[in-house]
Structure 1
Amino acid sequence: MSYPALATRTAAVTGAASGMGAATARLLAANGARVALLARRAERLAGLAEEIAAAGGQALPVPVDVTDAAALTRAADQVRDWAGPVDLLVNAAGVMLPNPLAAGRADEWAKMVDTNLTGLLRVIDAFRADLVAAAAAGRTADLVNVSSIGAHVPFPSYAVYGATKAAVTQLSAGLRTEFGPLDVRVTNVEPGLTETELGRQIDNPELAEQLAGMFRLIPPLAAEDVADLIAWTASRRRGVNLRQAVLLPTRQA
């Protein structure tokens, strides 16, 4: 998994404390990119930054909550002070809180919408000018949004989560019409069943066991599989935009 074209890139990765975000940050840094690590859990970020540095890479831990617009503005300034404008932005932060709609979990609905959709928008807004400027200067500029196959494959009790991911998929398509003419590439990635910490947030025992059963039945993707696709996508020549990618475990229909 060697991508020499990434060696000149400055990346910001949200959700970098675990899962796909952490795996993507590791791989980008291993290929020479300077990587800003954005997530809420400061200790996790510090540990990952130390791990990357020990392997010869460059990483900056930036504890921030994507639901806090003012904090994101400060975080973006911190990243620029460290490494200059970002030319590769990976939105991997997200929460998955399934429950039947009849459960009336407005708290979960709000959290998923504010993190998965509005939070992603806040992150894009915080780094939008960086991406546009990088492209205008003739550099490769990428916005990568991590959605889910839940965007178009319905699962019982996952309606709100799926709706937020469908919004991310549609948003990515819309942003491509705005950013493409400015030479900023927009990629939407939709992973299937993947081994991450998302399932640990489920507070419905029946649904938690249902998800565990799927993992027993279907060997899942690793977070590193998703990271490899993101790195491959970002390393294509400047004039090529992989607009959307769906990746599934082989046994998942």
Structure 2
Amino acid sequence: MSYDTLAGRTAVVTGAASGMGEATARLLASHGVRVALLARRAERLAELAATIEKAGGQALAVAADVTDAASVDAAAERVHTAYGQVDLVVNAAGVMLPNPVTDGRADEWQRMLDTNVAGALRVIRAFTPDLIAVAEAGRTADLVNISSIGAHIAFPHYAVYGATKAALTYLSQSLRTELGPRDVRVTNIEPGLTDTELADHIDNAELAGQLGGMFDALTGLAADDIADLIAYTTSRARHVNLRQAIVLPTRQA
């Protein structure tokens, strides 16, 4: 499939150190997109940037923590200094920490809220002025938020995670009413079972085992599958907004 229309664009990808963020950054860069890589793990970002550049792409590693407003603002300044205006933003940073609500893990709740909801908002605040300006100039502008099927389907012990993703899905829907009339596309992607590092954060052995069993039974998606969907969505003609995509393994559907 041709993604030639992506060439020459400038993207910010959060959560770029691993999983869907890393896969998306690699794919976009391979199609001529200048990619600013945002995540906390500076060493991983540097390795990814070197790999992209060795393959002939352009990448900027920017260590940033989306839970910290000052960190996001500093990252935006670095991106603007290096690349100028951004026309594609992918909010891929996220954390999944399932546990029964009755366990009262307020530390986990706050971490998911800070990353999955407030973190996305901080990035949106930092780069939406770019997207609006780009669109006003007649060029394509995209905001892509990666939510989860958990925004719609309840899974036992994933209540808070699902709630954060439902908030992101609703945020995307609402932002379209603000940004769509200004020619900025907003896309919300809700993956099902996908092979990423999210599962590594689970400290509940029983739930981790259940998730592993689901992968064995359902043949989960790869991060590259989500990256491919993002590249397809953002390479459409600028008047076409693929606004909502639920993507599941065939057996999970």
Give the aligned partner of residue 151 of structure 1: 151
Residue 104 of structure 2 corresponds to residue 104 of structure 1: yes
Amino acid at match of 2:45: L
Give the aligned partner of residue 224 of structure 2: 224
In structure 1, distance between residues paired with 2:9 and 2:113: 30
- Cα offset for 1:198? 0.2
Between 1:2-11 and 1:108-117, the stretch displaced more is 2-11
Give the aligned partner of residue 200 of structure 1: 200
Give the aligned partner of residue 68 of structure 1: 68
- Cα offset for 1:70? 1.0
Matches within 5 A, 1:1-253: 1-253=1-253
SS at 2:111 equivalent? helix
SS at 2:216 equivalent? helix
Amino acid at match of 1:146: I
Between 1:69-78 and 1:181-190, the stretch displaced more is 69-78
In structure 2, distance between residues paired with 1:9 and 1:93: 21
Amino acid at match of 2:227: A
Amino acid at match of 1:229: L
Q: Aligned pair count? A: 253
In structure 2, distance between residues paired with 1:216 and 1:33: 35
Once the two structures are aligned, what percentage of the paired residues are identical?
71
Report the TM-score, using the length of structure 2 for normalisation.
Answer: 0.99
In structure 1, distance between residues paired with 2:51 and 2:72: 24
Amino acid at match of 1:131: L
Gaps of 5+ in 1: none
In structure 1, distance between residues paired with 2:133 and 2:68: 24
Cα pair 1:2 1:31 within 8 Å, conserved: no
Gaps of 5+ in 2: none
Cα pair 1:169 1:188 within 8 Å, conserved: yes
In structure 2, distance between residues paired with 1:23 and 1:130: 24
- Cα offset for 1:2? 3.5
Amino acid at match of 1:20: M
Cα pair 1:180 1:186 within 8 Å, conserved: yes
